[in-house]
Amino acid sequence: MFQSLWLWTIAVPMALVTSWLVKRTIYSKTNIDRALVLYLLITMASMFGGAVIYYSSPSVLSLVEAVAVNAVLMTGGVIFILRFWGENVDEELNQLVATSDNASQTTLQSSRIETQGIAFRGAAISLILLSEFLMGWAFVLISGTPTITSGTLFQTVVGSDWFIFTMALEMVLSVYFLRRDLPKYFVAIFLTQSVVMFFAPTAIHNSSWVTDSIYLGSIAMIGLLIYVYEFLFNHRLITNVARAYLVALLGAYATMMAGLYLWLVVGNSLLFVLSIVAEMVIYFDVLLMGKQAESSKSTSWMLTPWWVFGFLGLTFIAEYFMGGLFDIQYYGISFVSGISLVPIAGTAINQIGAAFFDFISYFGAITGSAWFLIMMGAEMGALVAFKIRITRELETKIRLVMVIAAYFIYSIFLPSFFLSNAASVPFVGWSMGIGTAGAVAPVFLGAILGTYLITAVLSFLFGSRQVCSVFCTAALMYQGTFYDSMKEFNRSSKLGKKLLTSRMSGLYKTVSSVVIASIVVAAILSYLNAVGIISFTFYGTDIAYFLYIFYFNFLWYVIFVSIPFVGTYGCVTTGMCHIGLFNQFVSRFGLFRLKVKDPAVCAKCETKDCAKACPVGLTDLPGSFIKSGQFRSHKCIGVGDCVSACPYQNEYFYDVRGWLREKFGIGKDKGYGLTKLPVIGTPGAMTNAGKQVDAKPPFGENSSSAS
């Protein structure tokens, strides 16, 4: 205990000095400045290197060796500094630019000096990490725990409290020293990064610390992701440095979560400690750029689909393993051992089949677990809450509140924590129809048919929005601020363009036919197997249930991270969801539709904002409004972004409530989405983001009502 305190009295000042050197690194303009910074870093590293030499095998000889190494490095360092005495990088460059009449030579020299800057940054980062590593190594040797074996030295040191806590402290102190040189968003991200670093489960050998740090570190990471999503939602233009940084950071976090998962499952922390080092390199690289990071070229991230794909994909990998970590904490390691896997053996076909089965089963076990959904819900729910804040229509606000409530109550709490046998309860137990809760067995037939009946009645009365925009978990995932903003990809991506409008494209017909056929065949086989007429399973798992896992716990997420190439709501636009198709089909004949007060307003409307706002790409809205004053489409899931986007508040929802009003003459059908009467011809109407737009009136006076 006393020894540890004594060592911390060295580690804390060491973090302070390193952070100060980080600041000096940024302000170093001359070669002598740079050489001095490197010299001090080398001195620190050699000091701890000497301690490692001595404490590895304490003796007079090792003491002499330690002193000798320090003496050589320090003397060598002084010679190194003298080499640069009197040189000034900036003056050199300025003089060159002023005197040179050869532009290409100037560019060449500038790039040479820039390369020197990169090399200096690289050297500084390497030395910071080296001295941290040597300090951690020395302190692990001095404190005596845990035992170091040659194969795990790197893991022991980097995963230790000496390395982790000192690094976390250095991150905080460096940000403090450089707070005025960094943009606000970098300060917020860096500080949260330091919190994530601090809660490294390997730092303290104690099971409560492992559990608590997994939860607290993950909460910090979720907070960071929410912050980044909102930042991207509010800033389309970001610098190239920020873009590279975000994707690299997410790569490190994806590796970190995968590493922690591996550590808990197989006990090897190598991947985790590598991710710690990677995170530090990424962190210091941007930090040491200082103001230069902000002056790099800016691009709209929406114009870089591959970057968005990388960002979404890496985020998903981090979330996936985080969900797995939560599952292990909650259910114990039996969560992993309970996943049904089959040996990959036999003929080549058998091996491929078994590998496919194992992959989908493992993948689906986590994505279908309650804790993965809780974690995703916290993240995506925050974005939906932000969306509520900027939504104009009361009806849409209420629906978004219902989305959050339905996600946690209907999709998680009731089936996973409340009902002991959800499979016998229609609608809740079989939320996604056939396969959701198990086999199509006689004992569940009532619950399955009941599900289809309830969902069909709801879709007839309210449209398929009841599932796709309320009860389905997809509503929460797609409708938060950041994810909703990516609906532009429905119109810009190659595939997204093919899926636009209510028309059934060839791709839609093919996908939906395959999906329906597969689910019908699987249901029949599942039933025949359940009643004992045939014996058919897919590696011991009911085929209808396996198909459900494949479609909703695997394929759905593939489509989700492929937004830059497919657009948002890919499950609707491609027709890959059989329960969605069923409800959309019923809705086609039901009461739900979108109406406009006055088709003439649409005819003269210049912006056609409703068509641009639709997250499933129904660009045929205005044409239908102009023609018939209303819009019905099997693909319309009633999100209502079009209603919010109409600058003239001309559009509204119509469903059973409107029908009842009409039928029983209770008031006039004014549209439930409207908080005010339309302000036709009023400039400065509101957008769905709640901002005033320069909306030119479509014409000078109001015209007659359409209905």
Minimum CB distance to ligand SF4, residue 605 (Å): 3
Q: Which residues contact 341 (CB under 8 A, 6 or more apart)?
A: 357, 358, 361, 362
Pick 136 or 615: Cβ nearer ligand SF4: 615
Cα atoms in the 13 Å half-sphere on the side-chain side of 627: 7
| Closest distance of CB 608 from ligand SF4, Å | 5
Q: How far is the CB of 299 from ligand SF4 (least distance, A)?
A: 29
Cα 255 versus chain centre, distance: 14
In the complex, what is the shortest distance from the CB of residue 697 to ligand SF4, in angstroms, rounded to a whole number? 11
Find the shortest distance in angstroms from Cβ 177 to ligand SF4: 48
Q: What are phi and psi of 575, to 5 degrees?
A: 75, 30
**How many angstroms separate the CA atoms of 310 and 644, rounded?**
31
CA distances from 433 to 62, 336, 392, 551, 580 (A): 72, 27, 33, 12, 9
| CB of 375 closer than 8 Å to CB of 388 | no
**Contact at 8 Å (CB) between 634 and 573?**
no
Greatest pairwise CA separation for the chain in angstroms:
101
User: Considering beta carbons, is residue 468 or 523 the nearer one to ligand SF4?
Assistant: 468
Cβ atoms of residues 227 and 188 within 8 Å: yes
CB of 31 to ligand SF4, least distance (A): 60
Between 182 and 610, whose beta carbon lies closer to ligand SF4? 610
Given the complex with ligand SF4, which of 19 and 391 has the nearer CB atom?
391
To the nearest whole angstrom, how small is the minimum distance from the Cβ of residue 504 to ligand SF4? Answer: 15
Give the separation between CA 136 and CA 134, rounded to whole angstroms: 5
Rounded to whole angstroms, the Cα distance separating 251 from 685 reads 42
- Closest CB 451 distance from ligand SF4, rounded Å: 13
CB atoms closer than 10 angstroms to residue 497? 15
* Contacts with 443 (C-beta within 8 Å, 6 or more apart), sequence order: 424
Nearer of residues 220 and 572 to ligand SF4, judged by Cβ: 572
Query: Which of residues 610 and 618 has its CB atom nearest to ligand SF4 in the complex?
Result: 610
Which residue number, 522 or 530, has a Cβ lying nearer to ligand SF4? 522
CA distance 134 to 11: 12
Helix 184-198, helix 161-177: angle, nearest 10: 160
> What minimum distance in Å lies between the beta carbon of 701 and ligand SF4?
15
- Evaluated on CA atoms 121, 123, 125, 131, the torsion sign reads negative
Say which residue the tokens 């020293």 belong to.
177
Cβ-based burial of 253 (10 A; exposed 0-12, middle 13-18, buried ≥19): buried
Sheet holding 593-596, edge to edge: 630-631, 593-596, 651-654
Contact present, 202 and 263 (Cβ < 8 Å):
yes
Residue 343 or 700 with smaller CB distance to ligand SF4: 700
Nearest distance from residue 477's CB to ligand SF4, in Å? 9
SS3 at position 415: helix
User: Considering the complex, what minimum distance in angstroms separates the CB of residue 639 from ligand SF4?
Assistant: 10
Task: Please choose, from the candidates 381, 226, 254, 413, the residue with its C-alpha nearest in 3D space to the C-alpha of residue 323.
Answer: 254
Burial 101-124 (b: 16+ CB within 10 A, else e): eeeeebeebeeeeeeebeebbebb
Nearer Cβ to ligand SF4 (224/594): 594
DSSP for 305-371? HHHHHHHHHHHHHHHHHHHHHHHHHHH-THHHHTS------SSHHHHHHHHHHHHHHHHHHHHTSHH
Are 544 and 550 in contact, with CB atoms under 8 Å apart?
Answer: no
In sign, the C-alpha dihedral spanning 159, 161, 163, 169 is positive
User: At closest approach, how far in Å is the CB of 474 from ligand SF4?
Assistant: 4
Considering beta carbons, is residue 235 or 498 the nearer one to ligand SF4?
498
Contact between residue 706 and residue 597 where contact means Cβ atoms under 8 Å apart: yes
Backbone angles phi, psi at 694, to 5 degrees: -85, 70
Handedness of CA 383, 388, 391, 393 (dihedral sign): positive
CB of residue 625 to ligand SF4, shortest distance in Å: 5
Closest distance between ligand SF4 and the C-beta of residue 614, in Å?
10
What is the residue type of 138?
Answer: A
CB of 572 to ligand SF4, least distance (A): 5
In the complex with ligand SF4, the residue whose CB is nearer, 141 or 679, is 679
Least distance in angstroms from the C-beta of 432 to ligand SF4: 7
Q: Minimum Å distance from CB 370 to ligand SF4?
A: 18
Instruction: Respond yes or no on whether the N-terminal peptide bond of residue 146 is cis (omega within 30° of 0).
Output: yes
Site residues (CB under 6 A) for ligand SF4?
Answer: 467-468, 472, 474, 571-572, 577, 579-580, 596, 601-602, 605, 608-610, 622, 625, 646, 648, 650-651
The residue among 260 and 576 lying less far from ligand SF4, judged by its C-beta, is: 576
Q: Given the complex with ligand SF4, which of 173 and 519 has the nearer CB atom?
A: 519
CB of 448 to ligand SF4, least distance (A): 16
Amino acid at position 8, single letter:
W
Quick one: 50 or 567, whose CB is closer to ligand SF4? Answer: 567
Cα distances (angstroms) measured from residue 83 to each of 37, 79, 87: 14, 6, 9
Name which of 118 and 401 has its Cβ closer to ligand SF4.
401
CA distance linking residue 70 with residue 49, whole number of Å: 8
Cβ distance to ligand SF4 smaller for residue 170 or 641: 641
Task: Kindly tell me which of 438 and 629 has the beta carbon lying closer to ligand SF4.
Answer: 629
If the CB atoms of residues 289 and 596 are measured against ligand SF4, the closer one turns out to be 596
